[in-house]
Structure 1
Amino acid sequence: MALDATAVALMVLGVLIALAALADRLAGGALAAVPGALRDTTVVGVLVLAAGVVFALVAADEALAAADSPVLAWAVAHRTPGLTTTAELVSLIGGTVGTGGLAVVAAVVLFARGHRRTAVIWVAGVAAGSLTIRLVKLAVERPRPPVGTRLAVETSASLPSGHSLMAALGLGLTAAAVGALAVGSRHERAVRLVAVVVAVVLAGVIGASRVYLGVHWTTDVVAGWLLGAALATTCVTLARVLDARARIGDAPDATPVGGPPPAE
């Protein structure tokens, strides 16, 4: 029942966010006035809705019997000493402390460079991600894969994958920070593209390592990615909107996260 309630709550939240973005567009509000903010808010709604769908599918175990178990079985069958060592190292470095801490370091750099408001949003985002992991795990209480398949010791619930959520969130915020600091440089676009690609690849590898180690089902990882990406996008969008308001009021810290608005 708790799992069903969580799924419904996420799906409803996703729909409400998307509707709020649509209402803002029709009313010509704050989001519509900031380039990219309306689009990103809609993306947040879609990501949260998709996470809700994953939770709903998990609630009906038979719907995932043909997806989660075969993927885990394939990973177990293809284990090698070298891959196991690599997966353990990736999982250790890419833990919630590692990726969340990286975002906090990025926030410190942003703060030192004058992006104080954005730095606070980054730290708040990491805190929100950590809280989300704990609350959702408590609410859902999904069992982890069988002990016999695990190569690591884990005691908390399985859904969502905390590693995957914080990887998407922490690495996403770090990539956004790199993009913001590169504004005005000769290779701004290349730097931003590389930062995003590296963040996506690393988040993918971290999530995959958790399935390989047998401590998470694939849907745990997917749900973590979706929720982490939604939180990261929310932080970036909030920073953009506040930066736009600051520019209108001639306030400091006016460089938009993600770069200047596109030319008309």
Structure 2
Amino acid sequence: MALDATAVTLLALGVLIGLAVLADRVAGGALASVPGALRDTGIVAVLVLAAGVVFTLVATDEALEDADAPVLGWVLGVRTPGLTSAAEGISLIGGTVGTGGLAVVSAVVLFARGHRRTALIWVLGVLAGALAIRLVKVAVERPRPPVALRLAEETTASLPSGHALMAALGLTLTAAAVVALTVGTPRARLVRRVVVVLAVLGALLVGASRVYLGVHWTTDVLAGWFLGAALATTCITLARVLDARARLGDAPDPVPGLPADRPDTSHPVE
């Protein structure tokens, strides 16, 4: 299993680096010229490597007793009917279909407002996230916590937490879409702060609910957050870099962090 986990990590990192290089070539070297793009690419690499560390730990010690068992034991001691109902509700609403679907809905809105490239990247990002969940689960094949401790029924492998991955990915992309659509409005800064806080809080609650329900180890959730955040950052950076290229061709498509030069960006022409 150690070889499989390492291979998955290296493959994911290679794909993400390949996307960055491809985006840079398509954009005519715009990666270095777009503010923050190189930094964000570095963040993606760090997140993927962090997930790789989790994979390696899991592969060398399947139970990860020092990291996971104490947290699960603490959770068992604080369970109450009220918290259980709340965790079940959060887990249901924050499932892969719910958070991934929210990102797709935001992509539809972006497309309708003229942000066609960004919308396409958002949809492809969600599909990549869904595929990553399946591939990593199959590659690592980590068992879930004991059935007797679970408050929900699950049949797939444990690592990574699909809920955590898609929550980090879907909520981040949704927040980025809201930011893009409010660029230039009087309360753009306030909206940005609010949606970022909501996205982070939502992802944290979804991941925590999976540990509380006993269907995931804590490290499963951490790996999911790392991979989801890496994919979201990749999508946003790719959209910004491609937008830089579009500007050179006089076809702006505003994306998060890179406002359009023209005052009216509600219906940009591609």
TM-score, normalised on structure 2?
A: 0.89
Tell me the equivalent position of 1:248.
248
- Equivalent in the alignment of 2:99: 99
Partner of 1:201: 201
Aligned residue in 1 for 2:179: 179
User: In the alignment, which residue of structure 1 is the partner of 2:6?
Assistant: 7
Query: Residues 14 and 46 of structure 1 are in contact (CA less than 8 Å); yes or no, is this contact kept in structure 2?
Result: no
Contact 1:183 1:259 in 2 (8 A): no
CA contact (8 A) 1:211 1:218 kept: yes
Within-5 A mapping of 1:1-264 = 1=1, 3-11=2-10, 14=13, 29-61=29-61, 64-253=64-253, 255-260=254-259
Structure 2 CA distance for partners of 1:16 and 1:109, relative to 1, 3 Å: closer
Mapped contact 1:21–1:38 kept (Cα < 8 A):
no
- Paired with 1:256 and 1:132, the residues of 2 have a C-alpha distance of 25
- Counterpart CA distance in 2 for 1:167 and 1:62 is 25
Residues 15 and 45 in structure 1, CA contact (< 8 A), matched pair in contact too: no
| Residue identity in the other structure for 1:256 | V
CA distance in 2 between counterparts of 1:94 and 1:16 reads 27
> How far apart are residue 152 of structure 1 and its match?
0.2
Identity rate of aligned residues, in percent?
71
Q: Which runs of 5+ in 1 are unaligned?
A: none
> How many equivalent pairs are there?
255
Contact 1:17 1:42 in 2 (8 A): no
| Aligned-residue offset at 1:18 | 7.1
SS of 1:251's equivalent in the other structure is coil
Structure 2, unmatched stretches of 5+, are 261-270
The code of the aligned residue for 2:127 comes to: A
Question: Per-residue deviation at 1:14?
Answer: 3.9
Contact 1:4-1:55 within 8 A present in 2 as well? no
CA distance in 1, matches of 2:148, 2:97: 27
Shift of 1:13: 5.1
Alpha-carbon distance in 2 for matches of 1:236, 1:114: 17
Q: Distance in 1 between matches of 2:19 and 2:113?
A: 33
Equivalent residues of 1:57, 1:63 under 8 A apart: no
The separation in 2 between residues aligned to 1:256 and 1:243, in whole angstroms, is 7
RMSD: 2.2
Q: Tell me: higher relative CO, structure 1 or 2? Use CA pairs within 8 A at least 6 residues apart.
A: 2
Distance 1:215 1:202 in 2: 18
Shift of 1:29: 3.2
Q: 1:257: how far off? A: 2.2
Shift of 1:193: 1.4
- Could you tell me whether the CA contact under 8 Å between 1:51 and 1:223 is conserved in 2? yes
* Structure 1 counterpart of 2:160, one-letter code: P
Q: Distance in 2 between matches of 1:131 and 1:57?
A: 23
- The Cα shift of 1:15 comes to 8.0
State which drifts further: 226-235 or 6-15: 6-15
Q: Is the 8 A contact 2:5 2:139 kept in 1?
A: yes
Q: Is the 8 A contact 1:96 1:163 kept in 2?
A: yes
Instruction: Judge conservation of contact 1:179–1:259 (CA < 8 Å) in 2.
Output: no
Shift of the 75–125 alpha-carbon distance from structure 1 to 2, 3 Å rule, reads same
Name the TM-score, length of structure 1 as normaliser: 0.91
The Cα of 1:258 is off from its aligned counterpart by 2.8
Amino acid aligned to 1:201: L
Q: Is the 8 A contact 1:12 1:49 kept in 2?
A: no
Structure 2 residue identity aligned to 1:176:
A
Q: CA deviation at 1:64?
A: 2.4
